[in-house]
Structure 1
Amino acid sequence: MSQPLPSPARFLASAVPGIRVVVRYRIEGGLTDALGHLLACDAGSCTVRTRQADVVIPFAQVVAAKEVPPAPPRRPARQAPPSRQE
């Protein structure tokens, strides 16, 4: 008989793909977060698309997870001030 999934993993397993999430999980030497869109979940892991890459996170390493609001719009690039010519 398998044990029930802990609450954060249960949330991820039942979440609708496409929502924006943050997942805190264990890595060697500590913890880290994955912030992005939930792509998929299977029996033992979930995949989150972050800005850098798709991250596959085993449920056994998940410490916390929750849905987060959409990212704010990006600011326009700063323009350099006009150079003063004398």
Structure 2
Amino acid sequence: MKPGAVYFMANRKNGAIYTGVTSDLIKRVYQHRNGLVDGFTKDHDCKKLVWFEMFDDLEEARRREVQIKKWKRHWKIKRIEEHNPDWDDLWFDIVK
């Protein structure tokens, strides 16, 4: 069993939000922050990790990502603001 994480990257408060899943949160967020991942996050300058949820099993994280991708935008914003009301960049919390 490999651990996993579901996460939101954003460009600013109430801005563009990207939902992703990974087995290595630090590595993946580093890639987004440094423009190493082509696609939505690079195109919309989503460099801030604003929310994440950890799982013991990557497959469970993938199932959660599928659920979250069906959410309405305001549900995602509510989830972020429940845990991170100022939309702070959580990168500095995970690399400590």
TM-score normalised according to structure 2 size: 0.33
Greater length-normalized contact order (CA 8 Å, ≥ 6 residues apart): 2
TM-score normalised according to structure 1 size: 0.36
Structure holding more strand per residue? 1
